[in-house]
Copies of this chain bind each other. A is one copy, B any other.
Amino acid sequence: MTTQMIILNGGSSSGKSGIVRCLQAVLPDPWLAFGCDAFIDAMPARMQASDEGIVFAADGEVNVGADFRELESAWMDGVAAMARAGARVIIDDVFLGGAVSQQRWQKALGGLAALWVGVRCESAVAAGRELARGDRVHGMAASQADVVHEGVFYDVEVDTTHTESLLCARTIAAHVS
C-alpha cells in the first residue's frame, strides 16, 4: 500500500524540522511538509499567549486550551483531506498528550496509509541544541523529551543523539512504500 502520510513525533529541539527537509530532498516524489509550528503561526496572535489558545511558560511548560483543540481538530481533518486529494504529506508534531495525541491524528486520518515515526534525542543533548538555536524557551526540550513518546506506537524510530538528520531521513525513507 502506497504511503500517503508520514507523521513525525518528537520533543522540541529533537531535530524534526531538519529531518523533514532531508526527507523532502531524498524522497523522489514531491512531499508537502506541515508542522505544528506552522499551525500555531496560523492562529491569531492573541491565541499565542492565552489560556484558550497556547501558553509557553517561562520554564518550558506548554499548555493548550479549548479554542486551540477545536481549531487543531479542523486542521487535522484538512491535512488528511489534502492527502486524500492526492498530495503526499509529511507532518511534524509534538504529542504533548502522548497516546491521546496520536489517537487524535488516527481519527482524522481514517483509512489513510500513514507511516508513524518517532524522533528521539537524549534530553541533555536536546537541551544543549535548544541553547544553540537560541529561538526557543529554555526548558521545552528537557520537559518534552520523554513524555511525548508515552504510549505511542511507531513504524520506525530514529535517534538524533548520535545520528545526523540526513541519515535519519534515509532510514525513514526506506520505510516509505
| A interface, CB within 8 angstroms of B | 17-19, 21-22, 24-25, 30-34, 38, 41-47, 53, 67, 70-71, 73-75, 77-87, 125, 128-129, 131-134, 162, 164-167
- Decide: A87 near B67, CB < 8 A? Known: A22-B132, A129-B164, A133-B18: no
Q: Give every chain B residue within 8 A of A167 (Cβ-Cβ).
A: 128
7 examples of A-B residue contacts, CB within 8 angstroms: A21-B134, A22-B128, A32-B74, A70-B86, A74-B87, A78-B78, A131-B165
Q: Give every chain B residue within 8 A of A70 (Cβ-Cβ).
A: 86-87
Q: Give every chain B residue within 8 A of A129 (Cβ-Cβ).
A: 18, 164-166
> B33 contacts A125, CB within 8 Å?
no
> A132 contacts B74, CB within 8 Å?
no
A32 vs B42: C-alpha distance in the bound complex, in angstroms? 5
- Decide: A86 near B67, CB < 8 A? Known: A131-B166, A166-B131: no
Question: 10 tightest A-B contacts by CB?
Answer: A78-B82, A81-B81, A18-B132, A74-B87, A128-B166, A24-B44, A74-B85, A132-B165, A77-B85, A21-B134
> A21 contacts B133, CB within 8 Å?
yes
A43 vs B21: C-alpha distance in the bound complex, in angstroms? 10
- Decide: A47 near B71, CB < 8 A? Known: A85-B78, A131-B25, A134-B21: no
Q: Which of B17, B32, B67 contacts A75 (CB 8 A)?
A: B32
Q: Give every chain B residue within 8 A of A79 (Cβ-Cβ).
A: 78
A78 vs B18: C-alpha distance in the bound complex, in angstroms? 25
